[in-house]
Amino acid sequence: MPNIKAKFLGTGKALPQKVLTNADIEKMVETNDEWIRTRTGILERRVTSREEATSDLAITAAKEALANANVKAEELDSIIVATCTPDMVFPSVSCIVQSALGAKNAMGMDVSAACSGFIFGLATAKSFIESGQSKKLLLIGVDTLSKITNWQDRSTCILFGDGAGAAVISAEPGDAGILSVYTASDGTQADILKVPGGGSRNPICKEILDDKSYTIQMDGPEVYKLAVTKMVEASEKALELAGKQASDLKLIIPHQANLRIIESVAKRLKVREDQVFVNVQKYGNMSAATTIVALDEAQREGRLKRGDLVELVAFGAGLTWGASVIRW
């Protein structure tokens, strides 16, 4: 049996048309552009309209990835969607995507790991491919956090945006592909970042609509500290699993939540500025979509060429965190 790897054949992305600038948010809550820029690095973000759902973005990104990979939807045997903002409780977003693409030979399932979702999806993709269960799969990272944001809470509403990224990943002989994935969780810290209402613990009712507990609640400074330490830990573990060092990386793509978090992680890993991909200024935190949208942009901008080593790393609610080293 030759050395089979989970290789990226193509990527795509989708962003809502509507741009929400810091100046727009200044009109909604007591904040200002300077505070948002200096504390987060975010200048603007994209938000879906009332009619646009998570699957709409996922389907557009998926079509672009399939075209980029030159793969037909019928060739897919699996569709994995990482999201914490599905269209509805069920069916899964992956089944909605499967139908829209006509990917009739693919099974579909969603992965729930909040902002770390795409990394957890990579762990699933690697296992599916290396075990022989899957030959060609579509992995999507997509979220529409704007739908579960409290637009009157200035400590959270400045941070988030909507978007989707998709990758066609195939079983291929050779050295290119997912070299390692490290994933971790700590449910004891679940309370620092959560959406407490609207699930089976506190089903939708008038009180939940009134107190807005169906929206994101976050202890920002605590999440900030853990995001830095856990993303450093995950980056180092995934590099170790791949037998590589940070200096070997052409690019590191950290979860795009806050520029200051990205800079702290980069400093602790001792990577150069030109090794770090940043697009948080344009999109804010798109949750499961951040690393795959950035990966798509990096290779289209020529910052990633075949044979280069790239590492993705993320941290999110759960808590969950993880990283993956990929030979492009």
For residue 255, indicate whether it is catalytic: yes
Residue 186: phi, psi to the nearest 5? -145, 90
Q: Which of 68, 84, 95, 255 is catalytic?
A: 255
The footprint of ligand UT7 on this chain (CB under 6 A) covers a number of residues equal to 20
Q: Which of 115, 150, 157, 258 is catalytic?
A: 115
* Count of C-beta atoms within a 10 Å radius of residue 96: 22
Measured from the CB atom, the residue of 253 and 261 that comes closer to ligand UT7 is 261
Give the three-state DSSP class for 316.
Answer: strand
- Interacting span for ligand UT7 (CB under 6 A) from 58-66, 229-237, 253-261, 266-274: 253-261
Fill in the per-residue mask, 205 to 244: x = in contact with ligand UT7 (CB under 6 A), - = not in contact. ---------------xx-xx--x-----------------
For residue 115, indicate whether it is catalytic: yes
Residue 11: phi, psi to the nearest 5? -135, 165
Ranges within 127-156 binding ligand UT7 (CB under 6 A): 154-155
Measured from the CB atom, the residue of 28 and 88 that comes closer to ligand UT7 is 28
Angle between helices 54-69 and 93-101 (to 10 degrees): 50
Using the CB atoms, write b or e for 12-26: b if 16+ within 10 Å. Answer: bbbbbeeebebeebe
For residue 285, indicate whether it is catalytic: yes
Ranges within 259-318 binding ligand UT7 (CB under 6 A): 261, 285, 315-316
Structure tokens at 17: 């048309």
Nearest residue to ligand UT7, scored by beta-carbon proximity: 220
Does 258 help bind ligand UT7 (rule: CB under 6 A)? yes
Q: Nearest 5 degrees, angle CA 53-CA 262-CA 230? A: 90
Nearest approach in angstroms of CB 115 to ligand UT7 is 4
* Distance separating alpha carbons of residues 54 and 58, to the nearest angstrom: 6
Let me know: does 315 contact 288? Beta carbons within 8 Å.
Answer: no
Give the three-state DSSP class for 323.
Answer: strand
* Residues lying near ligand UT7 in the complex (CB under 6 A): 31, 35, 39-40, 115, 154-155, 158, 220-221, 223-224, 227, 255, 257-258, 261, 285, 315-316
User: Which residues participate in catalysis according to the annotation?
Assistant: 115, 255, 285
